[in-house]
Amino acid sequence: MSLQLEIEPLTLEPSSHREEFVETATALGARVCRDAIWSNGRCNWIGPAMELLGGRWRQVHRVFGSEFYGGTSGVAYSLAALYEATGERVFKKTALSAIRHALGTSDEIEGPTRLGLYSGWFGIALAALDIGQRLKDESLREPSFRLIEDLARATPDPINLDLLAGNAGAIIGFLMLREHSDDPDRLTECAIRFGDLLIEAAVKAETGWSWGELHKPESGAFGNLTGYSHGAAGIGSALLELYCVTGELRFREAGDAAFKYERHWFDPETGNWPDLRAPELSGAPKTDKPSYMNAWCHGAPGIALSRLRAYELLGCQACREEADTATKTTISNLDGNSEMSQMNYSLCHGQGGNCETLIYGAEILRKPELVERAEEVALHGIETYEKYKLSWPCGGPSMLETSSLMLGLAGIAYFYLRMADPQRTPSILIFKPRSEH
């Protein structure tokens, strides 16, 4: 079984709308900097969130944490990219202050969540090292490597298993950090340890492998999750990355089994994979059938990323076909319905994130027309919101404007930088470790 790359990705040129996209990103970044709260050389933000109070989920406003997904390290990452694209010093100053806040408050992240790629120390360390390189600030290296050292000594968590906050994300984190380390083999061994736990924890069935306890009747859900951020797509993708670095066949077989599980749930009528969570958890009425999302976190857009990556790494034709189907489903749901992901521009579950499927799909499927469709979405956002200086709908409660990366303005700004020049602005919705085989 060959590990050789079997396709030649399409090189995407800077957009003909580059100036307009960068100008929009700059305006969004300026709003983020405007709303920063400063103290002793560090900065933070306040934004809307949902918290369980008095037995009910209520909308609150609270300060950001330090994590990549919704905290100051993610905001800092976007602002550093903006500084590199524009040279505006306010972006550099705010980025450095935000990442110092993240590094200085990382201990406040609860124990198991620290192992998360988007929720924990991996995201903070990766952001800090990238920002240090972009902004030529060596002071960020030492605290980043302290986090990495603690992560390397950590024990895999038997409960948190997904890409966003669990062991699958830890695998990606270790593999990404290898290029920053003087001892990359040690980090590979750490990733292997986490991969073996995923294999051990898998719910193994004729229909494929899945993870978690939502397959149990008492959970109220329809089954263990499909999807990229929390489900089998993200876990399978991480295992395939580990296979491509180590050549260990058990990780290839586990990744394939994860994708097999999702094939079992695929619905040809919708061209999508169901959201198997209990509907009541998100406030929806109880039903006899699962619903379908179209987002990075759940549904076709995120699953497309996993299949595009598998095709890029392994030349898997079945994955290419699934990627093509998922990309078509993403396009058909870019506008025109009431699903939340069609009504905001966030990265996690909005238009910005769904367009990532089209950008990556254009590269891997060699279909430049996909980028053209993404540009239409980006231009529509400018025409609808930026032209009239309106609030941008974000991915949090009531779609209120917030500054965070995956749900708010920092992420929307990054989306516009990526649209301006995809080759210069790497994806943060799918991290791609370097393979040695």
SS3 state of residue 31 = helix
Calculated CA dihedral for residues 27, 31, 33, 34, nearest 10 degrees? 130
The confidence score (pLDDT) of residue 280 equals 62
pLDDT reported for residue 32: 98
Determine the pLDDT at residue 58. Answer: 77
Please give the pLDDT value at position 7: 77
Whole-number Å distance between alpha carbons of 294 and 273: 9
Q: Are strands 208-210 and 56-63 parallel, antiparallel or unpaired?
A: unpaired
* 38 within 8 A of 97, measured Cβ to Cβ: yes
Q: Which residues contact 183 (CB under 8 A, 6 or more apart)?
A: none
pLDDT given at position 212: 96
Closest CA to 304 of 328, 283, 332: 328
Mean pLDDT by 10 residues, the chain (437 residues): 63 97 98 97 92 73 96 98 98 98 97 94 98 97 97 95 98 97 96 98 98 92 96 98 98 98 97 89 69 95 98 96 98 77 92 98 97 97 96 93 98 98 98 82
The structure's pTM equals 0.95
pLDDT at 1: 36
Which residues lie closer than 8 Å to 231 by C-beta, 6 or more apart?
162, 210, 211, 224, 225, 262, 276, 298
